[in-house]
Amino acid sequence: MQHDSLYDDSPSSSRATRSEQERLAQLKSQIRHHDYLYYVKDRPEISDGEYDRLFRELADLERAHPELVTTDSPTQRVGAPPLDELGKVWHERPMLSLDSLMESDEVLAFDQRMKRELDTDQIEYTVEPKFDGLSVELVYDHGTFVRGSTRGDGSVGEDITFNLRTIRSLPLQLQADRYPDHLVVRGEVYMRLSDFHALNRRMTERGNDVFANPRNAAAGSLRQLDSQIAASRPLVITCYEVMAMTGAPPPSHWAELEMLAMWGLPVPNLRRRCQTIDQVLAFHRETEQQRANLPYEIDGVVVKVDREDWQARLGMKSRSPRWAVAFKFPPRKEITEVQDIAISVGRTGILTPLALLKPVEVGGVTISRATLHNADEVARKDIRIGDTVRVERAGDVIPAIADRIPVLNEVRSDPFHMPQHCPICGSAVAREGAYFYCTGQAVCPAQLKGAIEHFASKTALNIEGLGKKTVAQLVDQELVKDLSDVYRLDREQLLRLKGFAEQSATLLLGAIARSKTAPLDRFLMGLGIRHVGQHIAKVLAKEFGSLNAIMSADRDRFQEIREIGPEISESLVSYFQESSNRRVIEQLHKLGFSIAGTPSPQNRGALPFSGKSFVFTGGLMRLTRDEAKALVERLGATVSSSVSQKTGYLIAGADPGSKLDQAQKLGVTVLDEKAFLDLIEQQEKN
C-alpha cells in the first residue's frame, strides 16, 4: 500500500537497514504510548524534552527513508496541503440526534415507557456527560484510522480526515493485540475551557475576531480547508458509541465503552452504570453540581439503555433512538445591564435585534451581547436600553436574555422599534410574520457574499470556479459590490487573488461569459428572492414567459397562480419594487446578459435531451439529487423513479442498489457521476 508522506520532496536515499526499520517501528510504538498517557489518561511518564528527543529521532529516520513513512505515523499529525473544498461522506449508519428532556418527571416517564415496551421491571442504564462539541464519525480499517467526517445532516457529512488526524488524543493506530478489521466509532470533538480562553487571548492579540464559545471554536477549527490551522488549535476528542464493526458486538453499552478504552480510544471518564432510574437522577444532580469545576463544557447527561439487545428491540424513530435521551441542565443565568440595542443583518437578510450588554461571565464565558430573537420577542419581554436583565446561555451555546428585572424608581427609555431601512445598505425593510428582512438582497454588503455564491451555484447560473473562497476575496477586496460587478471582472483583477494563475483566471472568465445567457427560471433562482426556489422559479417562468412580465406583476396577479400564496407574492413584489435590485438587473442587461424565456411546448423538441428519460440511483458526491434533476430537466429531459426499456440513462452513484442490475439487464446506458457531468458539460457547450 502506498502512503502519503510529508517528505515526498526529499532526495532519494539508500534502502533502510533491518535495524533502522525495527528502530522506526519501536519509536512509533513508544510515541503512540506516550501520546495516549499524556492526552488521554493525563498521566505522562516522561518529560517533554525526552518526548521531543524521541519525536526528532523518528522524524530524522523518516526523512532519510521516506518510503517508510505511513499515514499512521505520529509525524503525520502536523497537517496536510490545503484542500479546495471538503468532500462529502456517506455515513455507514445514520448519526441520529437525541430527544431532549428538561425535567425529572420526563425522565421518570421515559423509564416507565422503556419498561413497558421491554416488558420488564428493571432496566440498567449507562449515563455519561453530554459534551458540547461537534459530533464526528471515525473509521478504522485493520486498526488504522482511515477516514473521519462531520455529522452533517445525519446521513451525509463532510470529510475532515486530515483535520482529525491532527488531534493528539485521537489514536491513528488502535492499541491491544486484537481489534476488528473494520470499526466505525462516533465521538465528540471539543475544546477544554482553559485552551479556549488561551486561544481567544492569542486571537485578540493578533487583532482577529474571537470565538463566541468553545463549541464554535471546535467546529470552526475542524471545518478548515487548511489542516495546518486545525493542527494549531487545542482540540480533544471523546468517543462514546460503536456505529459498526466486524465481529460480535459487546453485550452492553458499558462493555462497549470499556472495549473502546482498551483499544486506546478516549471515552468519558465521568460515567456511571445505574441499576435504577433513581440512580440516574442522582448522577444528573451530582454532575450538575460538578459542572462549574469541569475542564470542559457539558449541557446535560445522556441516558442510555445499557443492554445492546434491548437497544435493538427498541429501535429508532426517524431522527433519534428510542433507547436514549439527553437529560439537559437548566441554562446558566447571570444579571447585567442592556447598554444598547443594535441590529444584525444576517446572510439571508434577516434583521435580528442584539442586546449589547455590560460584560458578564456566564458559565466561564464572558458575554457582551445576547440575541433578542425578533421584534415580537423584544415587545413580549419589554426589553429597553438601560434595563437590568437576566442573561442565560440557552443550551450552553447561544447567549439570550431570559427576562427583565424591575428596579425600584428606575426611569426607563423609550420602547424599541425595528428600523424601516436596512442599517447596512439603506434598502427598505419588509416584514414577514415575526421577522423583518432587508429587501436589497443583491446589493446589501451583509448579504453580498451569500448572494453571489447562490447566484453562481449549480442550480442557478452554474459559474464554475466562483466558489466561497473566491467570492470572499472579491468582496473583501471590493472588486465586487453587487451581482453585476461579477461581469465586469478582468484578468488582471483575478490574477491579484490568492490561488489564481493564468489558467484558472481564463477558466473563470470563460464560465462567467457562458453564464450571460441563462434560462429565465435559473436566473430567477439565482436572484435569491425569498421563498423562490427551483420549483417556484419554474412555475413563474412557465406562467409569465419573460422577466419583464414578472417584474411588472402585482400581488393579485401572482396569487392567481395556484402554487403561489400571499407570502411568495409579497416577497416577489417587495424584491422588484426595491430600486437597488432593479438597478442591478438593468446593469446586467447593459453588460450583455441575455435571459431566455421558457420554451413553449412546441419548441422543447429543440433541447438536446428532449424525449429522453433519466433515472438516478445511489449517492452523488458533487451534486444533490435535486441539483442533478434540475440539470437534465433544463436540457429537456424527464426524470423517472424506475428503470424501464424507455430509460435513456441511469446515473449510478455510491451504493446504487437494484436499479443498476435492472438497467444492465435491459441494456440501458449507465454513467457514473463524472461521466454524467461530462455529458452535461458537452451538451451545454453545444
Mean pLDDT of the 57-79 span: 76
- The pLDDT of residue 4 is 37
pLDDT tens figures, 558-567:
998 988 988 8
Distance between CA 138 and CA 145 in Å, rounded? 7
| Partners of 350 in the β-ladder | 437
Taking the alpha carbons of 331, 327, 152, 163 in that order, is the dihedral positive or negative?
A: positive
- Distance between CA atoms of 46 and 668, rounded to whole angstroms? 65
Looking at residue 78, what is its pLDDT? 56
Burial 387-402 (b: 16+ CB within 10 A, else e): bebebbbeebbbbbbb
Amino acid letter for position 207: G
At 208 the pLDDT is 67
pLDDT of residue 83: 58
Average pLDDT over residues 151-162: 87
Quote the CA–CA distance of 236 and 167 in Å, as a whole number. Answer: 6
In the numeric block, the cell 452523488 is attached to 620
Banded pLDDT at 46 (limits 50, 70, 90): confident
Distances from the Cα of 30 to the Cαs of 33, 34, 59, in angstroms?
5, 6, 14
Q: How far is residue 79's CA from residue 232's CA, in Å, rounded to a whole number? A: 9
CA distance 585 to 552: 14
Strand, helix or coil for residue 519: strand
Contact 193, 290 (CB under 8 A): no
Using the 8-state DSSP alphabet, how is residue 334 labeled?
E
The CATH T-level fold of domain 18-76 is Helix Hairpins (1.10.287)
Q: Tell me: the pLDDT tens digits for 421-444?
A: 998 889 999 988 888 999 887 778
Measured CA to CA, the distance from residue 516 to residue 595 in angstroms comes to: 8
Phi and psi at residue 613, to the nearest 5°: -115, 135
Compute the 3-state secondary structure of the chain and give helix, strand, coil in percent, each to the nearest 5. Answer: 40, 25, 40
List pLDDT tens digits, range 447-506. 888 889 889 988 889 898 998 889 989 988 989 998 999 999 999 999 999 889 999 999
Q: Which of 130, 328, 458, 538 is catalytic?
A: 130
The DSSP result for 637-662, as a single string, is -EEESS--TT--EEEE-BS-THHHHH
Instruction: Note whether 337 and 331 are within 8 A (CB).
Output: no
Is the pLDDT assigned to residue 2 strictly greater than 60?
no
Instruction: Find residue 357's DSSP bridge partners.
Output: 338
- Cβ atoms of 234 and 218 closer than 8 Å: no
Section 406-426 average pLDDT: 90
> Class assignment of domain 605-685?
alpha beta
Task: Kindly state the average pLDDT of the residues 216-220.
Answer: 84
Nearest to 183 by CA among 191, 175, 195: 175
Question: Mean pLDDT lowest for which of 148-162, 217-231, 282-296?
Answer: 217-231
Residue whose entry in the numeric block shows the C-alpha cell 459498526: 244
pLDDT at 540: 92
| C-alpha span between 483 and 480 (Å, rounded) | 7
CATH of 332-404 among 3.40.50.10540, 1.10.540.10, 2.40.50.140, 2.30.30.100: 2.40.50.140
Looking up cell 517533554 gives 48
Mean predicted confidence (pLDDT) in 324-351: 87
pLDDT interval class at 397 (50, 70, 90) = low
Reported as a single tens digit per residue, the pLDDT across 277-308 is: 999 999 999 999 998 788 888 889 999 999 99
Q: What is the DSSP string of 69-110?
A: --TTSGGGGG--PPPSSPPEEE-SS-----EEE-SHHHHHHH
Strand order in the sheet with 182-191: 144-150, 134-141, 182-191, 235-245
- CA-nearest of 153, 31, 143, 135 to 89 is 153
In whole numbers, what is the pLDDT of the chain averaged over residues?
85
Nearby residues of 56 by Cβ (< 8 Å), 6 or more positions away: none
Q: Which one-letter DSSP state was computed for residue 151?
A: -
Is residue 358 annotated as part of the catalytic site, yes or no?
no
Which cell numbers hold the place of 370?
A: 445576547
Residue 3's pLDDT band, with cuts at 50, 70 and 90, is very low
> pLDDT at position 42, please?
60
More reliable by pLDDT, 602 or 427: 427
Residue indicated by cell numbers 428538561: 102
DSSP assignment of 223-268, as one string?
T-S-HHHHHTS-EEEEEEEEEEESSPPPSBHHHHHHHHHHTT----
Does 196 have pLDDT greater than 80?
yes
Q: Does residue 602 carry a pLDDT above 70?
A: no
399 Cβ contact list (under 8 Å, min separation 6): 212, 362, 367, 369, 370, 371, 391, 392, 393
What span, in angstroms and rounded, lies between the C-alpha atoms of 67 and 7? 9
Range of lowest pLDDT (171-185, 391-405, 519-533)? 391-405
Q: What are the DSSP calls for 12-26, one per residue?
A: P-PPPPHHHHHHHHH
Task: Kindly report which listed range (4-8, 193-197, 409-413, 590-594) carries the lowest average pLDDT score.
Answer: 4-8
Lowest mean pLDDT among 226-235, 385-394, 595-604: 595-604
Residues 76-126 pLDDT 10s: 665 555 556 778 888 888 888 888 898 999 999 999 999 999 999 999 999
**Considering only 23-37, 337-351, 539-553, which range has the smallest mean pLDDT?**
23-37
DSSP 315: -
Q: How far is CA 362 from the centre of its chain?
A: 26
Which of 185, 184, 181 lies closest to 142 in space, CA to CA? 181
**The pTM is what?**
0.52
Q: Taking Cα atoms as reference points, which of 520, 487, 493, 523 lies closest to residue 505? A: 493
Q: CA 233 to CA 66: how far, in whole Å?
A: 27
- Average pLDDT (505-511) is 93
**pLDDT tens, 347-387?**
778 899 988 888 887 766 778 888 888 889 899 999 999 99
The strand pairing partners of 88, in sequence order, are 158
Residue 128 backbone class (left: φ over 0; alpha: ψ -120 to 50; beta: rest) = beta
Amino acid 130: pLDDT: 94
Residue 583's Cβ-side half-sphere holds a number of Cα atoms within 13 Å equal to 12
Residue type, 643: V
Produce one character per residue of 633-661: b if its CB has 16 or more CB atoms within 10 Å, e if not.
bbbbbeeeeebeeebbbbbbbeebeebbe
Strand spans (E) along 442-558: 517-519
As a whole number, mean pLDDT of residues 237-248 equals: 92
pLDDT band at 670 (very low <50, low <70, confident <90, very high): very high
Which of 28-37, 392-401, 405-414, 615-624 has maximum average pLDDT?
Answer: 405-414
Amino acid at 338: V
For domain 445-596, the CATH superfamily is 5' to 3' exonuclease, C-terminal subdomain (1.10.150.20)
Q: What is the 3-state secondary structure (H, E, C) of 347-411?
A: CCCEEEEEEEEEEEEECCEEEEEEECCCHHHHHHHCCCCCCEEEEEEECCCEEEEEEECCCCCCC
Helix H or strand E encompassing 339: strand 332-345
Q: What is the pLDDT of residue 225?
A: 76
Confidence category of residue 148, pLDDT binned at 50, 70, 90: very high
Whole-angstrom distance, CA of residue 218 vs CA of residue 198 = 14
Dump strand ranges (E) for 169-211.
182-191
By the 10 Å C-beta count (0-12 exposed, 13-18 middle, 19+ buried), 473 is classed as middle
Percent of the chain with pLDDT over 90: 37
CA atoms within 13 A on the CB side of 557: 11
487 and 591 in contact (C-beta within 8 Å)?
yes
Note the CATH number of domain 99-328.
Answer: 3.30.470.30
Percent with pLDDT over 70 in the chain: 91
Which of 353 and 11 is assigned the larger pLDDT?
Answer: 353
Reported as a pLDDT band with limits 50, 70 and 90, residue 135 is: very high
Lowest mean pLDDT among 162-166, 197-201, 307-311: 197-201
Write down the domain spans for the chain. Answer: 18-76, 99-328, 332-404, 445-596, 605-685
E strand or H helix that includes residue 474:
helix 468-476
Tallying the residues shown for the chain, one arrives at: 686
Task: Tell me what the mean pLDDT of segment 308-326 comes to.
Answer: 88
Using alpha carbons only, give the angle 680, 651, 629 rounded to the nearest 5 degrees.
60
